[in-house]
Each structure stands twice: as structure tokens, then as C-alpha cells.
Amino acid sequence: MSNGFETLAIHAGQQPDPVTGAVVPPIYATSTYKQDGVGGLRSGYEYSRSGNPTRTALEECLAAIEGGTRGLAFASGLAAEDALLRAVCAPGDHVLIPGDAYGGTYRLFARVFSRWGLAYDPVPLNDIDAVRAAIRPETKVIWVETPTNPLLGIADIAALASVAHEAGALLVVDNTFASPYLQQPLGLGADIVVHSTTKYVGGHSDVVGGALIVRDSGLGEDLAYHQNAMGAVAGPFDAWLTLRGVKTLGVRMDRHCDNAERVVELLTAHPKVTKVLYPGLPDHPGHEVAAKQMKRFGGMVSFQVAGGEEEAVAICDRTEIFTLGESLGGVESLIEHPGRMTHASVAGSALEVPGDLVRLSVGIESVDDLLADLTRALG
């Protein structure tokens, strides 16, 4: 299909039901399927861990909007990462991870897979020479996040894909922050895309889920085998909610970007703000790479304030429309203090974030209300 993004998001995997004509794929709340004689599967489905039509609709849609051939939906982003690592790595292998990896991903490597015998090294992904130097004969995966959380660092996906492939390794990109509307890593050479669909893909802060998308069908088979063998699949209701969110991903992302750009303008001009971190700013490290590989710059904005940690915390407490909370990517605006909330567990480590830092997930409310809320909270 050569249809555009929004057409795929609304139609891929979602043909009207052949029996009733229902336009929206139903929630197939069933664990098992009647067989027409022993071994005679009516529709290819036999048991809902192995496959469920609502989940298939989501999986086909996600594959289409990421430009892949196979999508797999999981119970959470971390469940997807777990299945991926067990499928492509073995004890004794080595993985390179971002120096500022998502905390849950870092914990998976540091506390879970290290006991399984998988070695890892955090590297600054924006430094290609450092990445090359960190590769070992056992390196199986280079794991990329771009933009990163919460400093919105940028990594060059195409350049890292070449480095990985020269070394015989796979390039995995966690595309959660950008979403497939803004960035399509498979087209830039990545082998596997990971999503926490909990965030922008679902988009309404009402469901936890994860996904893997690949181009290579053999790799897709192997991941599907592990999805079934390990069993952390997305349930039919979760798959349905996520698919409902996907339909509006394009229009939501455009509004997230519009609103974020206005918020960045306000923050940049505000006397209390000492630094604004946003990939769309010309002086942001990696801006040129972001401009090359992203359609727009996303809805996440971080900033630092005069007055240090206490003032940053006070601002988080003073907003009214920006709700104080973790997570991101929903229609509602969220504010948080990474040092004491999402990144509290990395205090004292190399991953520690500045105390005067505030992170915004800019939602799609009326932008004037968002600007007024921030102006009031900044004082």
C-alpha cells in the first residue's frame, strides 16, 4: 500500500468485519476458538496467547505506520523489551545502551539481564567514535533512544545503523518519544523499533502497552515465537484501546508540536528560565540531526530555572492545568521534577539529572490556557 500515514493509521489491519460489517474491529474477548475437526482451524486462531483478532488488527496497523512488515503487541513497553532481548541475545553477549537510557530500560539491563549473563555498557550515542570504540566482538545490539528523556538528546539513527551493521550487530530504536508520525527508524536503517504504546501511540493515558516492529520477516518470526513462548501479550481490550488511540496519532502529534513550540517560545523569553531543552531550537545539541530524521520536534520540553532545585519543585507544585505526574504522551499536559520523580533512582550515578530541571509533556489543550498556566506558575 502506498497510502499516507493517517490513512494507514485509520485503515491498516482494520477492514470492516466480514460477518456484520462493523467498521471498528470488535474486542474479541475469547481465550480459545472452535476447531472444525481436529487440527482444522477456521481462521488461523487457536488460542489467544498465540493470536487474537483484536491484537492482530493493532499489530498490522503498527507495522504499517512504522514502515515494517511485522508488528507485535505486548502487555507493556518493558515486556516488549524483555522478549526482544531474549530473542536476539544469549548469555555472554554484549549490548551498548544510551548513557541516559529510560530508567526502566536501564534497570532491565542492570538488574535483570546482567544476572542472565548479558553485559552492557552505557555510551554517549551522539559521539559515534565513542560508540565504535565501545563495540566488542560479542556486541549484539546497539540500543538507541532519540530524543532521550529528560534531556532530549539526539542520536543519528542512520549513522548508528551503519556502525551496528559493520560490527554485525542489530540496531534497536526505542521510538516512544518521537512516535512513528515524527520519525520512522526502520527507513533509516534500524532493525527493530520498540514502543511503549502507553505514551503517544495510545495517547490518552488510559492503557499500558508495548510493541516491537521489524522489516525482516525472519526476525519477525523469531520475535513472534518469543512473544508466544514468554506470553506477555497485549489483551484484547488493551489492544482495542490502543488502536483507538492510533487513529488520531497524526492530528494529535501535530497539535502536541504546535503547542510545544508556543511553550518553548514563552520559556525562552522568560527571565526566570535559564535554559530550554527542545530539539527544535537551533542551538540544541543535535538539532541538525533531529531536523534531518524527524518530521517535527515533538511534544516534550525540558527547562532549567533560576533558584535551583527548590524553585523547580515549587513550579511543579504551582501549575493547575499541567498536572503533576509521571508518564507522558497523553492528550493532557503533565509536569514533573525528574530529579525527585522519574529519575530519583539514578541520583548519585552518571545518569543523574540537574536539580533545577523541570520536564513538560505538552498536551493538546487550548494553548493560551497552557501559556497562562505556566506564566502563573513561573511567577
Residue number, nearest CB to ligand PLP: 77
205 contacts ligand PLP (rule: CB under 6 A): no
The active-site residue out of 28, 45, 102, 278 is: 102
Q: Is 156 a catalytic residue?
A: no
- Please pick, among 100, 156, 174, 373, the residue that the annotation labels catalytic: 174
In 10 A of CB 115, how many CB atoms? 9
Tally Cβ neighbours within 10 Å of residue 331: 15
Single out the residue of 14, 52, 56, 76 in contact with ligand PLP (rule: CB under 6 A): 76
Active site residue 199: yes
| Closer to ligand PLP by Cβ: residue 45 or 143 | 143
Active site residue 102: yes
Q: Which of residues 82-121 bind ligand PLP (CB under 6 A)?
A: 102, 104-105
Q: How many residues bind ligand PLP (CB under 6 A)?
A: 16
Nearer Cβ to ligand PLP, position 60 or 145?
Answer: 145
Nearest C-alpha neighbor of 296 from the set 339, 341, 251: 251
In sequence order, which ranges of the chain are alpha helices (DSSP H)?
5-11, 53-66, 77-88, 103-107, 114-116, 128-134, 157-166, 179-182, 217-230, 236-246, 249-269, 287-293, 308-318, 367-378
Residues 165-204 binding ligand PLP (CB under 6 A) are 174, 176-177, 196, 198-199
Please, what is the minimum distance in Å from the beta carbon of residue 86 to ligand PLP? 16
The rounded distance, in Å, linking the Cα atoms of 198 and 176 is 9
Q: Under the criterion CB under 6 A, does residue 77 sit at the interface with ligand PLP?
A: yes
With CA atoms as reference, report the closest residue to 293 among 191, 195, 184.
184
56 or 198: CB nearest ligand PLP: 198
Indicate the Cα dihedral angle 111, 242, 71, 200, nearest 10°.
-70
Give the shortest CB-63-to-ligand PLP separation in angstroms. 19
Known catalytic membership, residue 49: yes
Site for ligand PLP contains 210 (CB under 6 A): yes
Q: Which residues, 6 or more positions from 122, have their beta carbon under 8 angstroms from its beta carbon?
A: 96, 97, 98, 99, 101, 106, 350, 351
Write out the catalytic residue numbers: 49, 102, 174, 199
Residues contributing to the site for ligand PLP (CB under 6 A): 76-78, 102, 104-105, 145, 149, 174, 176-177, 196, 198-199, 208, 210
